[in-house]
Amino acid sequence: MQPVYVTAAAQFLPGPPVGNDAMADHIGRLSPEAERFGRLTLRQNRIRTRHYAIRPDGSSDWTVARLAGEAVRGLIAGAEVDRERIGFLATATTQNDLMVPGLASGVHAESGLPPIELASLQSVCASSMMALKAAALQVAAGEHRAAIAVGAEFSSRYFRPDHYHGTSTVQPDGTLPGDAEFLRWTLSDGAAALMIEDRPAAHGLSLRIDWISLRSFADRFAPCMTGGAVRGRDGSVTPWSLYPGGAAAAAEAGAFQLRQDVDALYRMLPVWMGEFMRLVDEGRIDPQEVDWFLCHFSAHSLREEMVRLATRAGCMIPEERWFTNLYDKGNVGAAALSLMIDDLMRSGRLEPGQRILCAVPESGQCIMAYAGLTVVGDTQ
């Protein structure tokens, strides 16, 4: 197979950074209790600023396709490759603007690219790795010489009070259950894109993609983060389209809200770490050799027990080698992987020969993805 490289990266984050005190201006205010819960969540995730594509009045100039399109335009503007030579576009997101057609069509329309092969990857955070792997394999197989993987999220629109009022999710005191409130204070908006080519960039550093591993554990986990589902008390999940009474009844039952079972998320942690151990045993990861660990999960949120498990098994990467932009740029789901790679490439801290390990866990129904990259110097 042809070696493949990330030769350029770009990001688009809408509007100015929004601090914790101003968050509620954008996602709206449900109740004082909800904001207390929010402050608690923010203490745990430690996010200080993020970006929103929604205005305080609930209006927006953006769609997720336009956010992604803007990142792709920025990518092409900064890349060495001509747009005519780019043969493949893979998109990643949690929720497309429309149910039909796929996001890749919408991004293509916004991107200024000529006719092109597409793939729309829809999942949660790990869709970013699905898109990256699709793009990398297309180039590695010789099908195209240049490809783009872009991830984008516009989740703030689902967090506005109008999205909850009149549904059974809102409790009599104006609060939401924890599994609905948690994500309002966790997710935000943005897009980031990577250029994948069959050669390193002539100028500046590139990242060779050594391997990508993605595995689902849906054989043993129920849906943990959902949208479009009416959840029963026993944890059962009914798709909105099969809910008795139709779409209006499903909406009233809260089907169109994002929910995250936080307890189930913590039950997934050992499985995510088990994947790391598998890759160590198979010789793909050598924890000693990792110079940069880009994890879509902050070191402090690993519980002590997990750190102990990892340390005993020789799998703990020292915290000083973790790279994160979570605290300043927020959790942008499917855009987070490319956003981290872009910030690392622009950090001025990379040197040829360094090894980068990317980790993207997805709580949706339990996926774990890892990728190994090596920094290579320019060819000029």
Q: Are 144 and 135 in contact (CB under 8 A)?
A: no
Residue 193 or 224 with smaller CB distance to other proteins: 224
User: Minimum distance between the CB of residue 237 and other proteins, rounded to whole angstroms?
Assistant: 12
Instruction: Give the nearest distance from C-beta 320 to other proteins in angstroms.
Output: 21
Smallest distance from other proteins to CB 281, Å: 6
185: how many CB neighbours lie within 10 A of its CB?
25
Residue 58 vs 287, nearer CB to other proteins: 287
Distance CA 254, CA 84 (A): 45
Please state the closest distance from residue 303 (CB atom) to other proteins, in A.
13
H/E element, 161:
none
- Looking at beta carbons only, is 162 or 219 nearer to other proteins? 219
**CB of residue 279 to other proteins, shortest distance in Å:** 11
Q: Residue 315, interface with other proteins (CB under 8 A)?
A: yes
Per CB under 8 A, the list member of 314, 318, 352, 377 interacting with other proteins is 314
288 binds other proteins (CB under 8 A): no
CA dist., res. 262 & res. 247, Å (int): 27
Residue 288 CB, shortest distance to other proteins, in Å, is 11
Choose the binding region for other proteins from 19-27, 161-169, 313-321, 331-339 (rule: CB under 8 A). Answer: 313-321
Which residues, 6 or more positions from 301, have their beta carbon under 8 angstroms from its beta carbon? 44, 45
Minimum CB separation of residue 327 from other proteins in Å reads 29
Name the token pair of 265: 């998320």
The Cα angle at residue 239 between residues 237 and 245, in degrees rounded to 5: 110
Q: Which is nearer to other proteins, 116 or 306 (CB)?
A: 306
Binding mask 262-281 for other proteins (x = CB under 8 A): --------xx-xx--xx-xx
Q: Which amino acid is at 153?
A: E
Measured distance CA(250)–CA(228) in Å, rounded: 9
Q: Is 255 helix (H, G, I), strand (E, B) or coil?
A: coil
CB of 217 vs other proteins, minimal distance in Å: 6
3-state helix, strand, coil in the chain (%, to 5): 40, 25, 40
Task: Tell me the closest approach of the beta carbon of residue 311 to other proteins, in angstroms.
Answer: 9
Q: Which is nearer to other proteins, 170 or 269 (CB)?
A: 269
Size of the site for other proteins (CB under 8 A): 22
Read off the amino acid at residue 224: C
How far is 229 from 258, CA to CA, in rounded Å? 9
Q: Is residue 115 reached through a cis peptide bond, with omega within 30 degrees of 0 on the bond before it?
A: no
Contact set for other proteins, span 204-243 (CB under 8 A) = 217, 219-222, 233-236
Dist CA 123 CA 143 (whole Å): 25
d(CA 28, CA 284): 45
Which CB, 29 or 220, lies closer to other proteins?
220
Window 290-309: residues binding other proteins (CB under 8 A): 309
Under rule CB under 8 A, residue 162 binds other proteins: no
- How many other CB atoms are there within 10 angstroms of residue 245's CB atom? 10
Residue among 75 and 285 whose Cβ is closer to other proteins: 285
- CA nearest neighbour of 376 among 82, 1, 81, 4: 4
CB 203 within 8 A of CB 124: no
Q: Which of 140, 237, 307, 313 binds other proteins (CB under 8 A)?
A: 313
Question: Judged by CB, which is closer to other proteins: 142, or 314?
Answer: 314
Which of residues 93 and 365 has its CB atom nearest to other proteins in the complex? 365
State the minimum distance, in angstroms, from the CB of residue 270 to other proteins. Answer: 5
Strand partners for 362 = 367
Of the pair 160, 278, the CB lying nearest other proteins is at 278
Q: Report the distance separating Cα 141 and Cα 193, nearest Å.
A: 21
Residues in the chain: 380
What residues line the site for other proteins (CB under 8 A)? 217, 219-222, 233-236, 270-271, 273-274, 277-278, 280-281, 309, 312-315
